[in-house]
Structures are given as structure tokens and as C-alpha cells.
């Protein structure tokens, strides 16, 4: 069955970096873009960027372009995100999602369970 499993919660100090993994199983990892979305406590969803697992091409939201990096390892069907220069405002749940939204034909959205990243001194 389809599963998307993210790495566990992280606690980081301001200025540090965090890396979150997102492992896919039950479908062809390279068929769908992997999107990263975050949600601060009590707040809405914020799109951060996406990576094409097949080509490695990436697209970033403007506010994250300087310190956000998405990568993937197709041999283990895993996508990664790394956020550097952390501040308390980066405290959030980070979701990955394999998504393909087609106007015609089947669409999919497979979400991970979310990873809580807490930034605190």
C-alpha cells in the first residue's frame, strides 16, 4: 500500500539547520513531484517548494529561496528538505506530499504524517 513516512521531530537552536526526510513506498517515487508544505502552530498551510524526483529540478517559494534546499535519492525513494539559518518563526510542522494534479485523468496526493521542527534557545 502507499506510504509516505517522514523522519521524526527535531529540536534545534536558532541559527542551526534541519534536515527532514520523506520516504515513499507503494508507488513509483519518480512519477510525481514532491512538494514541501509547512504549518506553524495554529496557522495555515504554506507552500515552500517542489522537486521533480526524476530530474531533480526544483522550484522554490520566494521567501525560502535563500536558505531552503530540496534533494532526493531515487535509489531509496526518499526526498529531503534542509532549512538553514533557523529562527523561532520556523517552528512548524513540515509536510511532504507526492502530488500530481491532472486536469484530465487520475490525480494523486500522498502526504507524509508531518515532522514537527521546534526552534528554541
Q: Which residues bind other proteins (CB under 8 A)?
A: 35, 37, 44-47, 49-50, 59-62, 95, 97, 99, 101-103, 107, 109, 111-114
Closer Cβ to other proteins, 34 or 97, answer by number = 97
- In the block, cell 520523506 appears at 22
Minimum distance, C-beta of residue 104 to other proteins, in the bound complex (Å): 9
Residue 35: other Cβ atoms inside 10 A: 21
Q: Which residue has the cell 532526493?
A: 72
Least Cβ distance, residue 113 to other proteins (angstroms):
6
- Alpha-carbon distance 77 to 108, whole Å? 17
- Quick one: 49 or 53, whose CB is closer to other proteins? 49
d(CA 17, CA 15): 7
Amino acid at each position: 500500500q502507499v506510504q509516505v513516512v517522514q523522519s521524526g521531530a527535531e529540536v534545534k537552536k536558532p541559527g542551526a539547520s534541519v534536515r527532514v526526510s520523506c520516504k515513499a513506498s507503494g508507488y513509483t517515487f519518480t512519477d510525481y513531484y514532491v512538494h514541501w508544505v509547512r504549518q506553524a502552530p495554529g496557522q495555515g498551510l504554506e507552500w515552500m517548494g517542489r522537486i521533480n524526483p526524476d530530474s531533480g529540478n526544483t522550484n522554490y517559494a520566494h521567501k525560502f529561496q535563500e536558505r531552503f534546499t530540496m534533494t532526493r535519492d531515487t535509489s531509496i525513494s526518499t526526498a529531503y528538505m534542509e532549512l538553514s539559518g533557523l529562527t523561532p518563526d520556523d517552528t512548524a510542522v513540515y509536510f511532504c506530499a507526492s502530488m500530481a494534479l491532472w486536469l484530465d485523468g487520475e490525480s494523486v496526493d500522498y502526504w507524509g504524517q508531518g515532522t514537527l521542527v521546534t526552534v528554541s534557545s
